[in-house]
Amino acid sequence: MGKSVEKLFIKYLDGACTPEEKAMVEIWLQDEGNSAILDALLKERLAEDMLMDTKDTVSPERVAEWKEKLHQRIQPKEIPVRRLSYRFWLRAAILVAVVCGMGYYAFYMHGNMPAATQQMAWEETANQMGKRATVTLTDGTVVLLGPNSKLYYPQEFSGPNRLVRLTGEAFFDVSEDAAHPFVVNTNDIQTTVLGTSFRISAFTNMPVTVAVATGRVRVDRRQQNGLQELAVLTPGREVTWLQEQQQATVSTVNIQDVEGWKRGRLVFNNQPLKTIAETLERWYDVDIRFQHPHTAKTRITVTLFASGSIRQTLETLSVGSNFKYTVKDRQIIIH
């Protein structure tokens, strides 16, 4: 693979990749969360092929050269690129060759991206803790993006699918278009719809959940050899994907609870207090700590309304959980 990978790497640096390969590589480089994948691919596939002669070290001059060439190939007006470290640029540059050669990222972003992708400009809407935003896409789809969440989407949809990418949590009210399915990529889970409303929660290192309010949704797991169907959901159904267990579970959910999330209605069924606290941290931009570890493990069922103040929410929560708390600025201690 070494010669092939190196050849494809040079192909990208020389501007010889296809428009689809070039566009997908540039999108890939925006996500710093892919560092683990970068490291794994380097260790498993490239240590002997690409780094054998340098014993895992590369001269600063070579690194600078790669960085400059990559910078020249990425169009700033289309995709804003974060300032990255030399080490990240080295990892990303080598991964580019793997992506072009294996077509892995083409699959990651749902495969058949049209030639028009070359001219496609991508937008990013990112919320900080305690913030929400409403995003209206060009097809009329309305996305309510939750706190501490990011949505990547094209300025104009083109091709057979309407593709977006989510990190975090959002509610989608998708404009109906039977000829162009709406596809949401979250980690290695893909959600495909024609016209419906649903909520997705996909935070890093947490279970991925998809709950449907209206319409019909197909949820798949993306793999290098194809799609693995996890569930076909109708209104009032929810699928949860547990990455560590490699397991999907389908359950019934109240449609009012799914839609109520847009208004700050947070429903917890037999959830640890620690999980509830993490959700409140995102919604209110606060830091919640537990004085006693066993308190964090207490499981409760409760419905909270984040439209109120944090003190009001804590009062409701403390009544059902029988705990006391103190608030100082943005730090909360649960006793």
Give the CATH number for residue 276. 3.55.50.30
Among 243, 258, 273, the domain-final residue is 258
The domain boundary, picked from 225, 258, 291, lies at 258
Mean residue pLDDT of the chain comes to: 76
**Under a CB-based contact definition with an 8 Å cutoff, are residues 101 and 107 in contact?**
no
> CA Rg, the chain, in Å?
22
Structural domain containing residue 317:
264-334
User: How high is the pLDDT of residue 120?
Assistant: 64
Residue 179 lies inside a defined structural domain of this protein: yes
Read off the tokens for 316: 């409701």
Tell me what pLDDT residue 56 has. 42
| pLDDT, mean of residues 204-228 | 92
Q: Which of 81, 108, 135 is the last residue of a domain?
A: 108
What's the average model confidence in pLDDT over 67-74?
Answer: 50
Scanning 42-129, the segments in alpha helix (DSSP H) are 60-73, 86-102, 104-108
Confidence of residue 70 (pLDDT cuts 50, 70, 90): low
| Exposure class string for 290-322: b at 16+ Cβ within 10 A, else e | beeeebbebeeebebebeeebeebbeebeeebe
| 328 and 301 in a common domain | yes
Edge-first strand listing for the sheet containing 325-328: 287-290, 331-334, 325-328
Within a 10 A sphere around the Cβ of 28, how many other Cβ atoms? 19
Burial (Cβ within 10 Å: 0-12, 13-18, ≥19) of residue 9 = buried
Categorize the per-residue pLDDT at 23 as very low, low, confident or very high, splitting at 50, 70 and 90: low
My answer on whether 177 and 240 are in the same domain is yes
Distance CA 180, CA 201 (A): 23
Q: What is the DSSP letter of 258?
A: H
Residues 103 and 15 reside in one and the same domain: yes
Q: Is the pLDDT of residue 157 over 60?
A: yes
Same domain (yes/no): 231, 215: yes
The band of 130, judged by pLDDT with boundaries at 50, 70 and 90, is very high
Total domains, the chain: 3
**Same domain, residue pair 103 and 161:** no
Whether 129 and 252 map to the same domain: the answer is yes
How far is residue 197 CA from its own chain's centroid?
Answer: 19
